[in-house]
Structure 1
Amino acid sequence: MERWLALELASTIRHDGDGGVADDLATVRETAHWIQEQGDLLAGHVEAGELAVNEDLRLGIVELRQAVRALFARVVSPAPPSPADAHRLMTADQAAAHLNTAAAREPVSPQINWPVEGVPTVRLLSAENDPSVRLLAALARAAIAFLTGPQGAQLRSCTAPRCVRYFVKSHGRQEWCKPSCGNRARAARHYRRKRSATGGRSPA
């Protein structure tokens, strides 16, 4: 679903597997690759080959990501936000204003499509010619839809050691974004218990 673009965008900051944080939007080339990977979710907004990814567009997407992650941090509060950027988040008001401004840059009108045999669907007809504007507006609308929909209420920040991901809680006891994070968190708890039992000394 289109609204999952917001989670995909937030997840472009991730654990690099080596104790640090990786950024999938660090360069124009990496940004172009990420956009290509979202092809199915962006279908109907930006067609393949019409978008020229440059530094201005990269920075625009990064700024949208900052807004999305700031609002994700608000959703999970009072639990701690992702440690990747908790120290440099926009305020929630700034983030919301940024999403609203980006979404408003593309004038769209809903169009119904109802085949003879099938269910009615809706698509947005755009009056904007610039594919970069359409892309940024689509990302902003997806974030707004996600944050105001049922998935937004289930958003969590993974608390496993070294993980910086947000995830949507899919069942009542889910604490981590994926099983490997759960394994790492349980191992860390076990290690802390052993340290506590030995008075802070590493077990022999």
Structure 2
Amino acid sequence: MHLLTGEPLALDLVNTRFCLPSHVAHDALATAQGLDAWLAKQAGRLTPPDVSPGPDDLAAVRDLRGHVERALEAARQATPPPPEAIAELNHALRAAPAYPCLDVRGAVLRRGTARDGTPLDRLLAELAEAAVALLTDPDVGKVRGCEGPGCRLLFLPAHPRRRWCSPDLCGNRVRVARYYRRRK
């Protein structure tokens, strides 16, 4: 199960750890197959890796996710981020820096972006780049946690009154629970 909320890529990465409706903790990146499925769902936002991720790739992505989560929490609290989180994000960016390239499609020339490095280095660099974009966005302080009971998902509200990760999931559960409390 992968709970995508359409948030910025860095938030979707952090949100791969969530609670099921039964309040059981779930990690969508618990297995290499889970990572592969998550990457497939992010295909429009990430360059698909050349090969399916293995156990070492999984550990590296989960490690990066932890650093993004810690840096994001510090940004939300307006406190200095952990130096090791910033060092790891910068390391991922240096391992496969993006550079402009020229794409040719028939007679049409387009500016593109390429990266050197292993498939894992390229993936980590893209995820770190998404984290940098979020962490340096002036709206990073507006990232909120879902108010649904037991939910740990984060979101960047488009509307200041938004309270839940999804009105269909947590929002509906809260409204139904409130209805039953009133009826008792």
TM-score, reference length from structure 2 = 0.78
CA distance in 2, matches of 1:186, 1:77: 29
1:172 aligned to 2:160? yes
The structure 2 residue matched to 1:35, chosen from 32, 39, 64, is 39
Offset at residue 162 of structure 1 (A): 0.9
The total of aligned residue pairs comes to 173
Change (3 A) 1:152 1:20: same
What's the CA shift for 1:111? 4.0
Structure 1 position 71, deviation (Å): 1.8
Distance of 1:102 and 1:7 partners within structure 2: 17
The separation in 2 between residues aligned to 1:68 and 1:185, in whole angstroms, is: 29
Tell me if 1:146 matches 2:150.
no
Match of 1:106 in 2: 96
Mapped to 2, the partners of 1:157 and 1:54 lie a distance apart of: 31
Residues 77 and 141 of structure 2 are in contact (CA less than 8 Å); yes or no, is this contact kept in structure 1? no
Q: Classify the secondary structure of the residue corresponding to 1:123.
A: strand
Q: After TM superposition, list the pairs within 5 Å mapping 1:128-143 onto structure 2.
A: 128=117, 130-143=118-131
Would you say the 8 A contact 2:76–2:140 is kept in 1?
no
Alignment RMSD (CA, Å)? 3.1
Opposite residue 19 of structure 1, the aligned amino acid is H
Identity %: 32
Q: Quote the Cα distance in structure 1 between the aligned partners of 2:82 and 2:161.
A: 28
Per-residue deviation, 1:51: 1.9
Unmatched 5+ stretches in structure 1: 79-90, 116-120, 195-202
If the length of structure 1 is used for normalisation, what is the TM-score?
0.71
Confirm or deny: 8 A CA contact 1:13 1:24 kept in the other structure: yes
SS of residue in 1 equivalent to 2:26: strand
Match in the other structure for 1:9: 13
Q: Distance in 2 between matches of 1:187 and 1:77?
A: 31
